[in-house]
Amino acid sequence: MPGRELGGAGAAPALAIGGRVHSYAELDRWIDRYEPGAGGYDASALPLADALVCVCAAARRGMPVTVEDPAARPARSEPPHAAFLLVATSGSTGRPRPLARTAASWYDSFPAFTAITGVTPADRVLLTGPLHATMHLFGALHALWCGACVTDDPASATVVHAVPAKLREIVRTAPLLRTAVIAGIGPDPGALAAAGHLRVVEYYGSSEVSLVAARAVPAPLRLLDDVDAEIRGGLLYVRSPYTVLGAPDWCCVGDLAELGDNRELTVHGRGEAVINVGGTSVVAEDVERVLSDIDGVVAAAVVGSAHEVFGETVTAAVQLDGVEVDDVRRRARGILAKEAMPRRWVTFAELPTTSAGKIARGRLKDLLA
What pLDDT digit, counting tens, does each position of 280-318 carry? 778 788 898 899 989 999 999 998 888 877 788 999 999
Asked whether residue 189 carries a pLDDT value surpassing 90, the answer given is: no
Which residue, of 238, 267, 296, is where some domain finishes?
Answer: 267
Give the strand pairing for 344-347 and 311-320. parallel
> Sorting pLDDT into bands at 50, 70 and 90, what band is 90?
low
Q: How many residues does the chain have?
A: 369
Q: Judge if 70 and 194 occupy the same domain.
A: yes
Residues 237 and 334 both lie in one domain = no
Confidence of residue 91 (pLDDT cuts 50, 70, 90): low
Q: Which long-range contacts (CB under 8 A, 24 or more apart) does 11-14 make?
A: 12/121, 12/147, 12/149, 13/124, 13/149, 14/144, 14/149, 14/150
Predicted local distance difference test score (pLDDT) of residue 3: 60
Nearest of 288, 109, 117 to residue 186 by alpha carbon = 288
Mean pLDDT of the chain, nearest integer: 90
Domain that holds residue 302: 278-368
Q: How far is CA 215 from the centre of its chain?
A: 15
Torsion of CA 284, 289, 294, 298, to 10 degrees: 90
In a domain, 272, yes or no: no
**118 and 189 co-located in one domain:** yes
Instruction: Look at residue 140 in the predicted model and tell me its pLDDT.
Output: 98
Task: Please state which of the ranges 98-102, 146-150, 254-258, 327-331 shows the lowest mean pLDDT.
Answer: 254-258
Average pLDDT value for residue range 8-33:
97
Higher pLDDT among residues 337 and 200, named by residue: 200
Residue 1's pLDDT is: 37
**C-alpha angle 110-116-117 in degrees, rounded to nearest 5:** 85
In a domain, 36, yes or no: yes
Kindly report which listed range (82-91, 97-106, 132-141, 338-347) carries the lowest average pLDDT score.
Answer: 82-91
Does the structure show a pLDDT above 90 at 359?
no
203 vs 139: CA distance, rounded Å:
12
CA dihedral 170, 175, 177, 181 (to 10 degrees): 10
What string of DSSP letters covers 195-246? TTTSEEEEEEEETTTEEEEEEETTSPEEE-TT-EEEEETTEEEEE-TTPPTT
Residues 23, 154 share a domain: yes
3-state secondary structure of 344: strand
**pLDDT tens profile 55-73:** 999 999 999 999 998 888 8
Statement to judge: residues 295 and 218 lie in one domain = no
- DSSP 8-state class, residue 73: P
3-state secondary structure of 68: coil
Angle ∠(186,188,192) on CA atoms, nearest 5: 105
> Do 239 and 99 lie in a common domain?
yes
For residue 26, give every residue at least 6 positions away whose Cβ sits within 8 Å of its Cβ, in sequence order, or none: 14
Which of 92-101, 228-237, 241-250, 320-329 is predicted least confidently? 92-101
Same domain, 207 and 354: no
HSE-up (13 A, CA, CB side) for residue 67: 34
- Which of 13-17, 31-35, 136-140, 255-259 is the least confident region? 255-259
The structure's pTM equals: 0.79
Do 32 and 53 touch, CB atoms closer than 8 A? no
Give the residue-averaged pLDDT of 263-286.
81
Residue 73: per-residue pLDDT: 87
Q: Can you name the residues that pair with 257 across neighbouring β-strands?
A: 267
- 73 plus 156 within the same structural domain: yes
Q: Do residues 64 and 207 share a domain?
A: yes
Beta-carbon contacts of 143 under 8 Å, excluding residues fewer than 6 positions away, are: 119, 123, 125, 149, 150, 159
Give the residue from 267, 289, 307 where a domain finishes: 267
| Amino acid (1-letter code) at residue 246 | G
Same domain, 114 and 248: yes
